[in-house]
Structure 1
Amino acid sequence: MALKRMVLEIGMGTDIRGAEPTKAAVRALRDALWHNSLTIASALGQDTDAMRVEVTIGVPHPEQVDRQAVLDVLPHGTGTVTVVDGGLEVPNEGGTNSTLVASAAAVVWLDVA
């Protein structure tokens, strides 16, 4: 048996006023996951917890992201989180705050023949 890439899900999340990278990252992953109902594991006779999910988040200030908070979003399987510099930061008019935009990619792998 070998791990095979089965699904790629993508999403976008924001923190409109708080400029909090973790909040934007969590929302991006939720956006990627919550628009789908994956039946691939059960279609292959596997438990949904057999899925391995590789999450990549692109967000400004990646070093500030709580990776465990992002990982906790996954409803099934086991996962890893990689955070990279990306996304978008848009300052407000006064320069006193900003909106953060994060992108998420979740790749689902299953061990199949």
Structure 2
Amino acid sequence: MTPNRIILETGTGNDLYGQDYTKAARRALQDALHHSSITLFSSLGIDHNEMLVKVTVGVQQPEQVDCDLIAQDLPRGRAEVRAVKGGLDVEDEASGNRHVIATAAVEAFLPDQSDKFVRS
């Protein structure tokens, strides 16, 4: 059965001086995670290991993102992380620095529960 998406959260993160895309992406993920609390699993007695968590991170250079490291930042669920073209690089011509800004979307999916409930 197809799992049902139960939450979508977004966040932003940056690395202003290190030019590190993974660091900016991890900060974006943490920002998104701090906006949500999924009590549904414990309320329904569903193991958090059954939750699928898909993370999409947008940065200007997605090939520089360590998706495995980002997956380790998820506190629960089975992680799928991918980096795509997005985010924003801001060049500081005076200092020669590139400020990296990442965006993250976090989706949590609940296993299909339709066989466990009856409409009244």
Query: Which residue number corresponds to residue 42 of structure 2?
Result: 42
Q: Distance in 2 between matches of 1:31 and 1:10?
A: 8
- Provide the residue aligned with 1:28 in structure 2: 28
Paired position in structure 2 for 1:57? 57
Decide whether the 8 Å contact of 1:13 with 1:27 is kept in 2: yes
Name the larger-Rg structure.
2
Q: Which runs of 4+ in 1 moved over 2 A?
A: none
- The sequence identity of aligned pairs, in percent, is 45
What runs of 5+ residues in structure 1 fail to find an aligned partner?
Answer: none
Q: Which residue of 2 aligns with 1:81?
A: 81
**Size of the alignment, in residue pairs?**
113
- Flag structure 2 segments of 5+ consecutive residues without an equivalent: 115-120
Q: Output the CA distance in 2 between the equivalents of 1:42 and 1:2.
A: 21
SS in 2 for 1:35: coil
The 3-state SS of whatever aligns with 2:17 is coil
Q: Which residue does the alignment assign to 2:9? A: 9
Shift of 1:2: 3.7
Deviates more, 1:56-65 or 1:34-43: 34-43
Q: Which residue of 2 aligns with 1:101?
A: 101
Q: Write the distance in 2 (CA, Å) between the matches of 1:13 and 1:86.
A: 13
Aligned equivalents of 1:22 and 1:55: distance in 2?
A: 13
Distance across 2 between alignment mates of 1:19 and 1:2: 39
Structure 1 residue 15 displacement after superposition: 0.3
SS state at 1:36 partner: coil
